[in-house]
Every structure is written in C-alpha cells, then in structure tokens.
Structure 1
Amino acid sequence: MRQIVKIGVKKKFISSNPMEGFKCSGGDVEVIPLEFWQVEKIQQKQFSVDRISEVRDAFIFQCFTGFAYQDIYDLSPENVVLVGPKKELACQAPRKDRGRRNGAHSADRRPTDI
C-alpha cells in the first residue's frame, strides 16, 4: 500500500502521502510455543468438515517441517525427492525471500517424519 501511495505522489496523482509518519504497532507479544503433546492432540482431532481437516493437516505439516503457509501451498509432486543413501522420500521446496533472509534456500523434510 505504501509503495502505491509513493508512486501516486511521485506521478502527481495525489498531492501528498496521507500515510507519511504513520506507524502501525501492535506492541510486543510473547509467543508461547505449543508442547509436543498439544501438537499431537491437534493432529488426532477429528472434524466433520473436510476443509477444517485440511487446515489441521496443513498446520501439522507446518509444525513438523517449518515451512511457511504459502510454501506448503506452492508444493507440487516435483518437490518430493529421494535423498540420502537409503533413498528416503523428502519434501524439498525453495523458500522465498520475504525480507527475513538473504536469498532463497531449500529445506528437506521427510514425509515419514510427520
């Protein structure tokens, strides 16, 4: 949004940036990680709505792989590869640079770990 407004000012579509100096701050929030037993309880929970079960499965996959939400939905069959001397199945997906890291890297996760 900020970038669009800056372009609008630069191209003189608007006279000034109404968001200049605005800072959105939610403050510091303490994030308490789940205990393993809590993750297992979520994994075992049965839902009557298929979509909720898919969300549960995606969340559990994220817990065990460390992939971000968007990363798991960008996965395809080509991301499942054989690794190591035992040729174990692994999930390999390039992580996108979202401003938190320098460049992209790959993460290997074995589906059997989940």
Structure 2
Amino acid sequence: MFLAELNYKFITDFDFYLKTHDKLKQNAVVKHVQQLKRIIKVSLLHGWLQSDPFVNYSCKLKEVLRGYLTSDEVAKLASLDLSNNKRLDEVRDVFLFCCYTGLSYADVEKLNFNHISKGIDNNYWIILNRTKTESRSAIPVLPQAQEILEKYKSQIMTAYDGKVLPVKSNQKMNIYLKEVATLAKISKRVSMHLARHTFATSITLTNGVDIVTVSKMLGHKNIKTTQIYAKVVDTKISQDMQQLKEKLSGNNLKRVADGGS
C-alpha cells in the first residue's frame, strides 16, 4: 500500500479491525494506532505525504485503575515463612525490595553496588538511570529494603555476578509470585509491576510523601504519569480530612478564647 493511499477511512477501518478481529481493548488499540501515527509524522516531515490523514481522527486512552497491595498485604508477604523454599524466598524478597524502592523489574535486574552510595543525608541511596526512559532516579534506601540487601550481601560476588539481588527472569518471577501470593492468601494478581504501584500508593503517598517527591523517585518526566500510577487511597483522604477538622476546631476554639473576634 502506498503512503499516498493512507487516508482517514483507512485509519478508522484499522481501528475497527483491531477492536473486532483482534479483539483488543481501547488502550491496546490506541498504542497500535500511535505507532502508525509516528510513521505518518515522519512521512509528513520528509514531504512524502502532503496531508495528515490523522487530522480528524481522535482516539484517547481510557484511564485504568492501577492495582497495588495494601500495607497489610505487604506485611503478610514479609511475615510469610519461606525458609524451606529458597526459590520462593528469593522471589518474595526481590518483590518486597521493589515495593520499598519503586524499582521496575528491568532496573532491579541490573542493580549493582555501583548504583548504591551515601547520599546528602549520609544514608544509602539508589541512584540510577531508568532502563525504560533513561531518566535519573534517586531513591533513599528504606530500612526494610536495606535489610533485604544485607541478607544477600555475603552471596553477591559469587552467586549473582555482582548484582545485589538474586533476580530471575521476569517470566519466572511472575510465575513464582503467584505461588507466593497463594501461600500468603492474597487474592490479587501479584506481578513484578505491582510492586512499583505499591511503592507509589501504599508505601509513599498513603504515608504523606508529596507526589512531586514520589515522581522524582520513580524517575517520571511528567507528574501526570505518577498520578496514573499512584491513586491516593481512601485512608489518606481520611487522614488529611481529620487533620483539617482538628485545625478548624482549633481555630474555632481560638476565636472563642479571643471573644469571638
């Protein structure tokens, strides 16, 4: 098919084909059409096309609520006794490490001691460029993550080729995590990417960490991306409103004490 033959009808037919024949959902369709749009953009820049067939086409991503583990569910995983199963014990530890650092699978898989150093507060920080976006990510190491690093420290140089944790392939990690979730009696679909959502929501935002700070730690270039990952849960809203009630009550008491002025 020649570039000049690409028109508005072709794009809408392509959209319809993806939804009916391939049975893709809205966001998957948008991702496919975006790839075509990039080719069209290059063609327009080079003068290979005289008009943009996408000019009247619109197809928006549907907002999806990202899953995450609650603090109680994270605690369940942490307290699960896996001492008799080295395979699942390692997978659980890597997952929890990502819950407390916000690292993606690609980033934790490449993590080595060169990425860990003392920060401005004289505590350990993980500083690396994200594999996906190459943007800088700086994350203070929480005590829970530090404990996991210490657990595997003596095995690092010999067992894991200098990497700080025993990370298996992404496919195996996700398969084994299902086993771990079953043992912990967690019904949610637990995967490596769920750890990143958990860090954003249950570990940081729910505990009052500013969304701008969370965005920096996650290595996001746009705070809108963080807002998609990290939906503030009801408990955080409740805490914030309780603080507001206390402040308002305090102000009312002060006015009464001042004679109502």
Shorter-chain TM-score above 0.5: yes
* 1:36 matched to 2:71: yes
Give a deviation string over 1:31-68, Cα, whole Å, max 9, x none: 43211011011011111211111110111011111100
1:109 and 2:140 matched: yes
* Distance in 2 (alpha carbons) for counterparts of 1:50 and 1:26: 39
Q: Normalising by structure 1, what TM-score?
A: 0.64
Give SS of 2:91's match: helix
What does residue 64 of structure 1 align with? 100
Match for residue 90 of structure 2?
54
Corresponding residue for 2:202?
none
Larger fraction in helix: 2
Q: Which structure is higher in RCO with an 8 Å CA cutoff and minimum separation 6?
A: 2
- For 1:67, give the aligned amino acid: L
Shift of 1:25: 2.7
Distance 1:60 1:24, change over 3 A: farther
CA contact (8 A) 2:127 2:136 kept: no
Rg (Cα) greater in structure: 2
Structure whose residues are more often strand by fraction: 1
Q: How many residues align?
A: 90
CA–CA distance in structure 1, aligned partners of residues 128 and 78 of structure 2: 23
Looking at structure 1, the residues matched to 91 and 77 of structure 2 have their Cα atoms a distance apart, in angstroms, of 11
- After TM superposition, the runs of 4+ consecutive aligned structure 1 residues lying more than 4 A away are 20-24, 26-30
Deviation at 1:26, TM superposition (A): 5.1
1:82-112 CA-partner distances (Å, limit 9, x unpaired): 0124x111222221235xxxx4222323142
Q: Is the alpha carbon distance of 1:84 and 1:113 closer, same or farther for their aligned partners in structure 2, counting shifts above 3 Å? A: farther
Q: Distance in 1 between the 2:127 and 2:140 partners?
A: 7
Q: Percent identity?
A: 22
Partner of residue 115, structure 2: 79
Amino acid at match of 1:37: D
Shift of 1:24: 6.2
Q: Which secondary structure does the structure 1 equivalent of 2:135 belong to?
A: coil
Q: Does 1:25 align with 2:56?
A: no
